[in-house]
Chains A and B, each alone.
Chain A
Amino acid sequence: MRRTILVILAALVAVIALGSAVVATSGDTSTVTRPRLERSLTTNFANQYADQARIQGRRITPASLHAKAMCDKAGAENNDVGPGGDWNCLMSWTDPEVPMPPEGYGKFELNVHSNDCYTVGSPSKLTGFLTMTDAEGREVTNPVFEFDGCFDPNGDNTPTGVVFPSLLAVASTTITPDAHGNAGVQLTCGSGAKGCAGTIAVTAGDTKLGTMPFHLAEESTQTLQLPAPVPDGAAEVTFTVQMSTGVGPPKPVTLPVQGS
C-alpha cells in the first residue's frame, strides 16, 4: 500500500510539473479571446433580444438589431485574453422602441470560463429585470437579463474593429469646500477605447471659477481640484464638460455645495 501511495504521489507531482512547464513556456495560449467573445456575444444577444420582443408581442428579427460589441478584460493595461469574471462588453443595437443612452451603448458583464462558455449579465436599464410581463400580462423570466453561451475555440479570431468611446461621469454628489473655499470633484472614466480627455468649465452661481483640463485612462477615477475657491454663500457649482476624447454628460452637471 505504501508503494501505491508513493507512486500516486509521484504521478501527481509529474502532472503538476508538466503543467507548470507548459505554462512557463507558453504565453497567452488561451482560446478565450476578445474577437471570439465579441462575435459570439452579439449573435447570442440578438437572438435573446428577439426572443424577449416575441414574448412582449413585438416582431423583431435578430439581424435588424445590428448588434455590435467591444469587449475588454480587466482594464486598459491587461491583454484581452483568458477566462475570468472581469470581462466587460460594451454593445450597441438598434431598437426603435428602446433608444440607446447618449454614449450609444450598454455595458454587459461577462463571466467567461476556460471551457469557452460564458454567462452574461445585461444592463437592466436597457433590457429589463429578471422577470417581465408578456403580451398576455403574465410574469415570465426575461431571457435577456442573464444568459449563457459558448463559442468555438477554433473560431474566427481576427479583430472585429468595433470601438466605443469611454464614458466620463462626475462621481461626486456634493461639493465640500475646506476653510479656504478649496474643493475637489471626482471624475470616473468607464470602459472604452482611449480613455477620457477634455476640459471642464466650472461656475458657482454667476461667478466663473475657470476651466480644468483632465485626462483619465479608461476604467479609472481621478479627483480634480477646482481652479478657484468656491465663493462664500454659493449654493451650487455647475460643471460644463467639453470632451476631446470619449463621451461626457450632454448637459451641465450641477452639484450642491455642502456646508453653505
Chain B
Amino acid sequence: MSATTTAAAPVDTSPATRRHPGALAPLRWEIRKLRAQYRAKAVLIGALVLPVIVVVVIQGQSRPPKDTLFGRFATDNGFALSLLVLGFAAQWVLPLLTAVVAGDIFASEDQHGTWKTVLTRSTSRAQLFWAKTLTACGFAVIVLAVLATSTIVSSVLIVGHQPLTGLSGQTIPAAEALRLVAASWATMLPAMLGFTCLAILLSVWSRNPAVGIAAPVVIGMVMQLVGALGGVEAIRPFLLTTPFEAWHGLFADPRFTGPLTEGLITSAAWCAVCLGAAFVMLRRRDITGG
C-alpha cells in the first residue's frame, strides 16, 4: 500500500482553476494509489488466469457436476460451462473480488495513519468519500469484466460453442446463447456493487482492512445459506445474494425478467443504506490522531 503517494498532489496557484481540479483530484489520487497496489493487480491477474485453469480442469472430468444448474452439460458445452462458473463465482468469489479493494480503501488510511495527511489537503471529507467509493466501484466493474471475459472466452474456445439446452428444455442457438451468457454475467453487476458498498461500510466502521475484506464474504455466505432454507423464503427478496440468481429467467422460455428488476431494487437499496451509513460515520468521525 502506497498511501503516502498523496504527497505528490499538484499545487494550485490561481483561484480560478482551483474548483475544477478540487473535484476530480481526489479521484485521480485514489486511482493512482490503486494502480500502485500489489494486491489489486494480483486480483486482476487471478481473475484473468484462474477461470482458464478451472475450465481446463472441469473439461477434463469424466462425470459432469450435475448438482449445479447447467452442470450436466458443462463438460461438452462451453456456454453451460461458463454458466456453471458463474453460479460458483456468485457464491463467494464475486463478493471477495470486490471486497479486496472496497474493504481496504478506507481502512488502509487508518492502518497507515494517513487520514490527517489526506484531509489537510484542499479536499473535503465528502470529496474524499466519493472519490474512494467511485474507485472501489470502478474496480468492481473492471474485475467483473475481466473475470466474465476470461471465463466465456476460455470455455467457448476450449469446450466449444454447441447449441445450449435452456431451463425450459428449449434449444438455444449458439449465437443467442453467447448473448445470453454475456448478459447473465452482466446481471451480476448490481449485486456486486451492493457488496462493494457493504465492504465500504465495513471498512469505514471497523477501520480494519481484514474486517472490511473478510466480513462481506462471510455475510454473503450467511445470506446464501438463509436464502436456501425452505421455511424463510419471505426474506429472500431482501437478501443481497438473491439478485445473483436472477439470470435464470434469461434461459427460460418464455423469458422472465421480474427477478432482475427486483434484484436491481434490492441492490440499489443495500447500496444506498450502506453508503449513507458509511458517509455519516466518516463525516462525524473525530480525526485528530494519526
- A and B together in one complex: yes
Let me know if A149 and B168 touch, CB within 8 A.
yes
Let me know if B248 and A44 touch, CB within 8 A.
no
Nearest CB in chain B: distance from A3 CB, A: 9
Partner of B252, one of A19, A45, A152: A152
Let me know if A43 and B234 touch, CB within 8 A.
no
Per the 8 Å Cβ criterion, residues 4-43 of A in contact with B are 4, 7-8, 12, 15, 18-19, 22-23, 26, 29-32, 40, 43
Nearest CB in chain B: distance from A150 CB, A: 4
Let me know if A149 and B236 touch, CB within 8 A.
no
Top-3 shortest CB links A-B: A47-B169, A152-B256, A44-B169
Tell me whether A114 and B222 are in contact in the complex, defined as CB-CB below 8 angstroms, given that A8-B215, A153-B259 are known contacts. Answer: no
Minimum CB distance partner of A50 in chain B: B169
Which residues of chain A have C-beta atoms less than 8 A from B253's C-beta? 43, 47
Where chain B touches its partner, the secondary structure class is: helix
Per the 8 Å Cβ criterion, residues 36-82 of A in contact with B are 40, 43-48, 51, 62, 82
Nearest CB in chain B: distance from A232 CB, A: 55
Nearest CB in chain B: distance from A194 CB, A: 27
Q: At the interface with chain A, which of B28-36, B182-190, B223-231?
A: B223-231
Check A103 for interface membership: any CB of B closer than 8 A: no
Tell me whether A114 and B256 are in contact in the complex, defined as CB-CB below 8 angstroms, given that A44-B168, A51-B171 are known contacts. Answer: no
Give chain B's interface residue range (CB within 8 Å of chain A): 35 or more
Tell me whether A152 and B222 are in contact in the complex, defined as CB-CB below 8 angstroms, given that A26-B234, A31-B233, A40-B168 are known contacts. Answer: no
Where chain A touches its partner, the secondary structure class is: mixed
Check B264 for interface membership: any CB of A closer than 8 A: no
Let me know if B232 and A147 touch, CB within 8 A.
no
Check A146 for interface membership: any CB of B closer than 8 A: yes
Minimum CB distance partner of A23 in chain B: B232
26 A–B contacts, CB within 8 A, in A order:
A4-B211, A7-B205, A15-B222, A15-B226, A18-B235, A19-B235, A23-B231, A29-B234, A30-B230, A43-B168, A43-B253, A47-B171, A48-B169, A51-B165, A82-B230, A84-B230, A113-B228, A117-B167, A146-B66, A146-B72, A149-B252, A150-B248, A150-B251, A151-B252, A152-B249, A152-B258
Let me know if B235 and A154 touch, CB within 8 A.
no
Nearest CB in chain B: distance from A2 CB, A: 12
Let me know if A114 and B229 touch, CB within 8 A.
yes
A residues at B contact (CB < 8 Å): 1, 4, 7-8, 12, 15, 18-19, 22-23, 26, 29-32, 40, 43-48, 51, 62, 82-84, 113-117, 141, 143, 146-155
Which residues of chain A have C-beta atoms less than 8 A from B72's C-beta? 141, 146-148
User: Total number of A-B contacts with CB less than 8 angstroms?
Assistant: 101
Check B162 for interface membership: any CB of A closer than 8 A: no
Interface string of B188-232 (1 = CB under 8 A from A): 000000000000000001101001000100000010001111111
Kindly state the separation between the CA atoms of A113 and B169 in the bound complex, as whole angstroms: 18
Let me know if A19 and B165 touch, CB within 8 A.
no
Partner of A150, one of B171, B222, B252: B252
Let me know if B230 and A83 touch, CB within 8 A.
yes
Minimum CB distance partner of A54 in chain B: B171
Let me know if B235 and A22 touch, CB within 8 A.
yes
Let me know if B169 and A117 touch, CB within 8 A.
no
